[in-house]
Amino acid sequence: MDKDPEFLYRYRPATECAINAVLQGKTYAVSPYKLNDRLDSAIRFNSNKLCKLLLKSKKIHRLIIENVFLKFDAKCSHYPNYESYKKAEEQAWDKAEKEFNEPISSLKIREFFNSLALQAIDDFKKSFAVVSFCSIGANQIMWSHYASDSSGFVLQYLFSSLSSLSLISMKKIYTSLTPLQLSVLGLHKVNYSDSLIDGTDFVYRLIMKRGDRFTTKNRYLENIKTEEDARFILSLLTEKEKAWSYEGEYRWIFPFGIGYSDEESINSTLSAIGFESMETYYFDIGNLRPFAICLGEKMSIINRVVLASYCKTYNHVLLYEQDFSNLPGLGMANWKLTKPDEILNTENV
């Protein structure tokens, strides 16, 4: 088993939200639905197998009639009584069955089932939020991708501090979850693979549970009953293409849809201070401060001053600058230790 790194890093852009998050002890969390890898948390399903499974179910019949054949009015209020409603449903189904084997109908049904599957997968992704860290703090590609081409900054955290905080906070906040369900949350290492997980049976269960009532808003966690269930959900949330393996990513997984019985506790501990959409939040990470901050070479004067002042206030947070002066070759940028006052005095603040 690979040894966990001593530090984890967060490359951040030079935006007001990103800098304010540092000042306020917040961290950006986003749904896998919005991440930049098309295979992130993706689920492969066998369309033929899924169609066969769904066609066996009476529960799905009305959806087919209403959405594919458009021959059934599904509103009970439009019928004089329940018996007439059921009779109309049965008659519509009898007519639809005769058309099932026609090529055009078969294609329509398959397209409808595929749309149900894709919607179920998107709903799954939107039910979780992740905070991404990486194990490499001096990668020029990531400086370009995630830190505004070296005009942003990098946060350095002790792995042990993050790991402990993730375990303690998840147990404290999500008290309605079992230890097995909690095992999916917190800090986990990303697995890189070019083959998607076969989730046909999982997608089928998601479709069949449409509209079911749950005691929490995150149905995926609530349905974890075995270690195999937990491993499968976790694998879906921690899979990325091999092309991204240079990042050495770890991610802190949260459940989206804060609606547990201890909602008041959650809101006070993980309070959202701003959002770009329903899939993007800044979460409170308590008193955890970064171990160090590295300023990008192209960072603006005002942003350098703001973060230098932060490091001076919290003097245990080390301050570095991106340094290209002693590079043995292209690609990796060194971190040069500096003092907040050196920046503050230089900028005449």
Q: Is the pLDDT of residue 275 over 50?
A: no
Q: Which of 23-27, 159-163, 213-217, 292-296 has the lowest mean pLDDT?
A: 213-217
**Which of 106, 122, 138 marks a domain boundary?**
122
Residues 205 and 234 in one domain: yes
Q: What are the DSSP calls for 6-39, one per residue?
A: SEEEEEE-S-HHHHHHHHTTEEEEE-GGGSS-TT
Residues 178 and 227 in one domain: yes
Radius of gyration of the chain (CA): 25
Count how many residues are written for the chain: 349
Structure tokens at 296: 């990008």
Residues 94 and 194 in one domain: no
pLDDT at 272: 39
Structure tokens at 298: 């192209």
- What's the rounded Cα separation, in Å, for the pair 112 and 123? 17
pLDDT at 269: 39
Q: Is the pLDDT of residue 48 over 70?
A: yes
pLDDT at 194: 81
- What's the rounded Cα separation, in Å, for the pair 68 and 91? 15
Q: Which residues span the domain enclosing 95? A: 47-122
Please name which of 62, 69, 59 lies closest in space to residue 100, comparing C-alpha atoms. Answer: 69
Residues 115 and 142 in one domain: no
Place of tokens 């701003």: 274
Q: What percent of the chain has pLDDT over 90?
A: 23
- What's the rounded Cα separation, in Å, for the pair 23 and 312? 12
Structure tokens at 52: 């066969």
Burial (CB < 10 A; 0-12, 13-18, 19+), residue 312, is: middle
How many structural domains compose the chain? Answer: 2
- What's the rounded Cα separation, in Å, for the pair 323 and 343? 14
In a domain, 136, yes or no: yes
Q: Residue 11: how many CB atoms within 10 A of its CB?
A: 26
pLDDT at 70: 59
In a domain, 169, yes or no: yes
Q: What are the DSSP calls for 86-131, one per residue?
A: HHHHHHHHHHHHHHTTSHHHHHHHHHHHHHHHHHHHHHHHHTEEEE
Query: Which residues in 190-343 belong to E strands, given as ranges?
Result: 191-192, 239-240, 249-255, 280-284, 292-295, 318-323, 334-338
**Which of 74, 105, 122 marks a domain boundary?**
122
Query: Which of 26-40, 70-84, 176-190, 322-336 has maximum average pLDDT?
Result: 176-190
CA angle 317, 321, 322 (to 5 degrees): 135
Residues 304 and 233 in one domain: yes
In a domain, 1, yes or no: no
Q: Phi and psi at residue 260, in whole multiples of 5°?
A: -80, 170
Chain centroid to CA 77: 40
Residues 240 and 260 in one domain: yes
Residues 68 and 173 in one domain: no
Residues 147 and 193 in one domain: yes
pLDDT digits (tens, 9 = 90+) for 105-115: 577 788 888 88
Chain centroid to CA 86: 42
pLDDT digits (tens, 9 = 90+) for 243-274: 899 999 999 998 865 433 333 333 433 443 33
- Angle 200-208/103-126 helices, nearest 10 degrees? 90
pLDDT at 288: 73
Chain centroid to CA 334: 31
pLDDT at 74: 58
| Residue 66 DSSP one-character state | I
Residues 213 and 291 in one domain: yes
Find the mean pLDDT for residues 22-33: 82
In a domain, 15, yes or no: yes
Residues 86 and 172 in one domain: no
Residues 195 and 142 in one domain: yes
pLDDT at 133: 94
Burial (CB < 10 A; 0-12, 13-18, 19+), residue 115, is: exposed
Residues 176 and 65 in one domain: no
